[in-house]
Amino acid sequence: MIGNRNTTAARTLRSLRSLRGTSAPMTYTLIAVCCLIFLLGPASGFTPSYGTGDALAAAQRAYFRRWGVVPADLFDGPVREVLTPATALFIHGSWVHLLGNMLFLFVFGAMTEERMGRVEFTLFYLGCGYLALLGYAAANSSSQQSLVGASGAISAVLGAFLYLFPSARVTSLLPFLLFLPLRFPAWVVLPFWAALQWLALGQAPAGPGVAYLAHLVGFGLGFGYAWVRYGRTTKVRTAPAPAPEGENQP
């Protein structure tokens, strides 16, 4: 009887691990922190102390300016502004923005973390995210628009995933095929995603919008880091990794 119970418990643990995908505590911690910060901030609408209507809108603007990256302030403002590319990684502007980013981090972050290890993955995520936002700010150094979101860091995770797991199959929803879920290897899906960011960057209007440049900088940094760090020694065979194609970004 005891043997049967142990066998059942072991099978249950294996089933849970199969559903979860990989052991990636830092990925799940980052997701939890981003969600908690969003719920406590003015953008979620869950905190009555921020007020409603115009008062809430003013609180949101002040909040994003305080914790987000304002390129003009980053290069000409007080010293504390150098920290904003790090704090901005944990701030999101809307539910769609948050859920889109966290979905991508959940899907691609777990396997990447398991390959890199907890400490390296965390430093990689924060470092590449900081540099992606810094690159965007440098290219828009006169802008007074606040930039928030984990998109640059998550794009770096996509770039590293492409190098580390190029043959992992990814479920993609393609609008021109009536959103039918189709499975393609990562080396097809992720470069296609990067190409879409490049095309969108060329057509993006001036002013507030999606920070496509931060996506591209992050993606390039992530791929380059994995290439230099792991070189030709990385030959990983992986189980299929489901993921949607496309992303809701700031």
User: What are the catalytic residues?
Assistant: 151, 215
Structure tokens at 227: 């290439």
Question: What CA–CA distance (Å, rounded) separates 210 from 76?
Answer: 24
Structure tokens at 80: 């504390």
Question: What CA–CA distance (Å, rounded) separates 94 from 96?
Answer: 5
Structure tokens at 95: 């539910």
Question: What CA–CA distance (Å, rounded) separates 11 from 28?
Answer: 23
> What are the start-end ranges of the H helices in the chain?
2-20, 25-40, 53-67, 71-76, 84-87, 95-116, 118-139, 151-164, 186-203, 212-230
* Cα separation values, 213 from 203, 206, 208, Å: 12, 13, 13
Instruction: Give the HSE-up count for residue 209: Cα atoms under 13 Å, Cβ half-sphere.
Output: 12
Please compute Rg for the chain using Cα positions: 20
Complete DSSP assignment for 32-101: HHHHHHHHHSTTSS--GGG-SHHHHHHHHHHHHHHHSB-HHHHHHS-GGGGGHHHHGGG--SSHHHHHHH
